[in-house]
């Protein structure tokens, strides 16, 4: 049996963490020995791992400390715990997610002269390295101690090569989603009645936390530009936690005169129902790795309008399952949205083809199978 220890900064409700919560139970049921080491004590998703029988080891609760010393203390404690783990078990494959966890894990591997397999997953484009230049330089330094890096889109893989990884030391595994929540959903009319939506409204939906790089301001400007050409009862549903820009977005909607058409719903547990009740899905981000939100929109049968960043255009085939538009360009986004708004038959065709594409290529079962094949090949190479 192959043992794998996953290392992540937290188990908050984020893309990488949700990905692990779906994939790891499938791997465990396939016979892999799995543990999860969390560097912090933030773990709202932990019950999902508990339910699957996956041991989760949390970091210390240091919330009682003054904030000025909490972070350096947490980093030192996390590094010490990782080093102890490396010394106790030199055979397990270590697979680390997200930049901070990667830096600490690679450093622990170096300090303990670890000679086993260290895997890093990059889940986004490396734009963050431009904002945090020291972090970027340290990451690139640690690449030399990493066995292999995995990207979740071709765009991410290309950046990993640019950062210095040698050929043969980079792999690609696309995200996969659990299709169960999208099965046996009620008809759209019934969902709209239950949710209190107008039956005749044209409903746009974006599922993305309210943070600047998700492009919500671009979206509001785009919709304002085509407002007069849309049906009077159109509506935009914004699903996602506030990352600090909610008041700014509400103010912008008022200024643009579209406030009555925009609803900020916050984080929701009924996202599949909301998606299935809508007409057009949107992801207008400025940077992205490979978005599960796009896959979920397609699984709900929505035509998707997405920006051409990261793996968006690898999920959505332009003029086949939706439209791919320019990033940071409200005019291009407006043109795409209006094209979809005025073409109901095309929306239906794109939605049906997109749903089939998710079933064929982007399920959590297919994703877990790719991981399993990867770990088996890695263990075989390690045993040679």
Other residues' Cβ atoms within 10 Å of the Cβ of residue 336 = 25
Question: Global pTM?
Answer: 0.91
Please tell me whether residues 203 and 141 are part of one structural domain: no
Give the 3-state DSSP-derived string for the chain, with helices as H, strands as E and coil as C: CCEEEEEECCCCCCHHHHHHHHHHHHHHHCCCEEEEEECCCCCCCHHHHHHCCCCEECCCCCCCCCHHHHHHHHHHHHHHHHHHHHHHCCCCEEEEECHHHHHHHHHHHHHCCCCCCEEEEECCCCHHHHHCHHHHHHHHHHHHHCCEEEECCHHHHHHHHHCCCCCCCEEECCCCECCHHHCCCCCHHHHHHHHCCCCCCCEEEEECCECHHHCHHHHHHHHHHHHHHCCCCCEEEEECCECCCHHHHHHHHHHHCCHHHEEEEECCCCHHHHHHHCCEEEECCCCCCCCHHHHHHHHCCCCEEEECCCCHHHHCCECCCEEEECCCCHHHHHHHHHHHHCCHHHHHHHHHHHHHHHHHHCEHHHHHHHHHHHHHHHHHHHHC
Q: Confidence class of residue 347 from pLDDT cuts 50, 70 and 90? A: very high
Question: CA of 31: how far to CAs of 2, 59, 136, 152, 376, in Å?
Answer: 8, 26, 36, 24, 12
Token output for 319: 């003029």
Averaged pLDDT, 33-47: 95
Q: Specify the pLDDT at position 335.
A: 98
Domain with residue 297: its CATH number is 3.40.50.2000
Residue 147 and residue 186 share a domain: no
As for how many domains the chain has, the answer is: 2
Mean pLDDT value across the chain = 94
Same domain, 186 and 37: no
Pairing of strands 262-266, 3-8: unpaired
Domain that holds residue 291: 180-361
129 and 222 belong to one structural domain: no
- Better pLDDT: 15 or 256: 256
Is 227 in the same domain as 326? yes
Pairing status of strand 262-266 against strand 304-307: unpaired
Residue 379 corresponds to which tokens in the numbers above?
Answer: 């263990």
Q: Are residues 95 and 22 in the same domain?
A: yes
Asked whether residue 170 falls in the same domain as residue 184, the answer is no
Q: Residue 382 has what pLDDT?
A: 80
Q: Are strands 235-239 and 262-266 parallel, antiparallel or unpaired?
A: parallel
Does residue 306 register a pLDDT over 80?
Answer: yes
Residues 117, 164, single domain; the answer is yes
39, 59 Cβ separation under 8 angstroms: yes
Residue-level pLDDT at 383: 77
370 and 292 share one domain: no
Left if phi > 0, otherwise alpha if psi is -120 to 50, otherwise beta: which for 291? beta
Query: Is residue 377 over pLDDT 90?
Result: yes
Report residue 283: phi and psi, to 5°.
-140, 110
Domain co-membership, 32 together with 125:
yes
pLDDT per position as a tens digit, 271-297: 999 999 999 999 999 999 999 999 999
Looking at the structure, tell me whether residues 120 and 104 fall in a common domain: yes
Res 203: pLDDT: 98
CA distance 235 to 204: 6
- Residue 225: pLDDT band by 50, 70, 90 thresholds? very high
pLDDT at 136: 85
Residues 143 and 237 in one domain: no
pLDDT in tens, 144-176: 889 999 999 999 999 999 999 988 899 999 999
Q: 75: how many CB neighbours lie within 10 A of its CB?
A: 15
Supply the pLDDT for residue 67: 84
What percent of the chain shows pLDDT beyond 70? 100
Per-residue pLDDT tens for 176-215? Answer: 999 999 999 999 999 999 999 999 999 999 999 999 999 9
């Amino acid at each position: 049996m192959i043992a794998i220890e996953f290392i992540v900064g937290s188990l908050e409700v984020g893309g990488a963490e949700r990905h692990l919560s779906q994939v790891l139970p499938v791997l465990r049921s396939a016979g892999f020995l799995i543990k999860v080491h969390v560097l912090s004590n933030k773990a709202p998703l932990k019950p999902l791992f508990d339910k699957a029988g996956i041991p989760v080891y949390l970091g210390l609760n240091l919330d009682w400390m003054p904030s000025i010393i909490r972070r350096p203390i947490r980093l030192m404690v996390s590094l010490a715990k990782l080093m102890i783990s490396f010394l106790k078990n030199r055979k397990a494959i270590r697979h680390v997610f997200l930049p901070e966890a990667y830096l600490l894990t690679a450093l622990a591997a170096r300090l303990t002269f670890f000679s086993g397999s260290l895997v890093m997953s990059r889940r986004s484009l490396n734009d963050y390295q431009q904002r945090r230049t020291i972090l970027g330089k340290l990451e690139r330094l640690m690449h030399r101690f990493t066995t292999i890096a995995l990207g979740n889109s071709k765009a991410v893989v290309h950046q990993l090569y640019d950062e210095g990884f040698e050929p043969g030391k980079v792999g690609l595994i696309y995200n996969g989603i659990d299709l169960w929540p999208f099965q046996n959903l009620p008809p759209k009319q019934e969902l709209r009645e239950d949710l209190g939506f107008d039956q005749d409204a044209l409903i746009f939906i974006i599922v993305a936390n309210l943070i600047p790089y998700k492009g919500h301001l671009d979206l509001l400007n785009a919709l304002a530009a085509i407002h007069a050409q849309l049906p009077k009862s159109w509506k935009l549903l914004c699903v996602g936690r506030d990352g600090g820009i909610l008041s700014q977005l509400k103010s912008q909607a008022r200024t643009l005169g579209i406030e009555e058409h925009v609803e900020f719903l916050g984080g929701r547990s009924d996202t599949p129902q909301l998606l299935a009740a809508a007409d057009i899905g949107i992801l207008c981000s400025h940077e992205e790795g490979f978005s599960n939100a796009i896959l979920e929109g397609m699984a709900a049968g929505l035509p998707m309008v997405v920006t051409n960043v990261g793996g968006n255009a690898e999920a959505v085939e332009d003029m086949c399952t939706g439209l791919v538009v320019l990033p940071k360009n409200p005019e291009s986004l407006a043109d795409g949205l209006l094209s979809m708004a005025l073409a109901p038959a095309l929306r239906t065709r794109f939605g049906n083809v997109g749903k089939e594409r998710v079933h064929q290529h982007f399920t959590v079962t297919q994703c877990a199978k790719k991981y399993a094949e990867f770990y088996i090949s890695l263990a075989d190479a390690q045993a040679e």
